[in-house]
Amino acid sequence: MQMALSENCPSPGLTFLLLLLALLFHAGVSDLGLNFYSESCPRAEEIVKEQVTKLYQKHGNTAVSWVRNLFHDCMVKSCDASVLLDTTSRIVSEKKSQRSFGMRNFKYINTIKEALERECPMTVSCADIVALSAREAIVMLGGPYIAGMKTGRRDSRESHISVVDDFIPNHNDTISLVLSRFQSVGIDVEGTVALLERTGAHSVGRVHCLNIVGRLYPNVDPTLDPEYSEYLKRRCPSPQPDPQAVQYARNDRETPMVLDNMYYKNLRTQRGLLLVDQQLVSDPNTSPFVEKMASDNAYFHHQFSRALLLLSENNPLTGDQGEIRKDCRFVNTQ
The torsion defined by the Cα of 284, 290, 293 and 295, in degrees rounded to 10, comes to -100
Whole-Å CA distances, 133 to 16, 70, 86: 42, 9, 19
Residues annotated in a binding site for heme b: 202
Amino acid in the structure at residue 230: E
In the chain, what are the helix, strand and coil shares in percent, each to the nearest 5? Answer: 50, 5, 45
Contact 260, 300 (CB under 8 A): yes
Residues annotated in a binding site for substrate: 169
Residues 6+ apart with CB under 8 A from 137: 52, 56, 62, 63, 64, 65, 66, 67
Residues annotated in a binding site: 73, 76, 80, 82, 94, 169, 202, 252, 255, 260
Separation between Cα atoms, residue 112 and residue 47, nearest integer Å: 8
Q: Which residues pair with 42 in a beta bridge?
A: none
Other residues' Cβ atoms within 10 Å of the Cβ of residue 21: 10
Q: Which residues are identified as catalytic?
A: 72
Omega before 226 cis (within 30°)? Answer: no
Residues annotated in a binding site for Ca(2+): 73, 76, 80, 82, 94, 252, 255, 260
Q: Which residues pair with 219 in a beta bridge?
A: none
Q: Is 132 helix (H, G, I), strand (E, B) or coil?
A: helix
Separation between Cα atoms, residue 142 and residue 162, nearest integer Å: 35
Residues 6+ apart with CB under 8 A from 187: 195, 307, 310, 311
Show the CA angle centred on residue 272, arms to residues 138 and 200, nearest 5°: 15
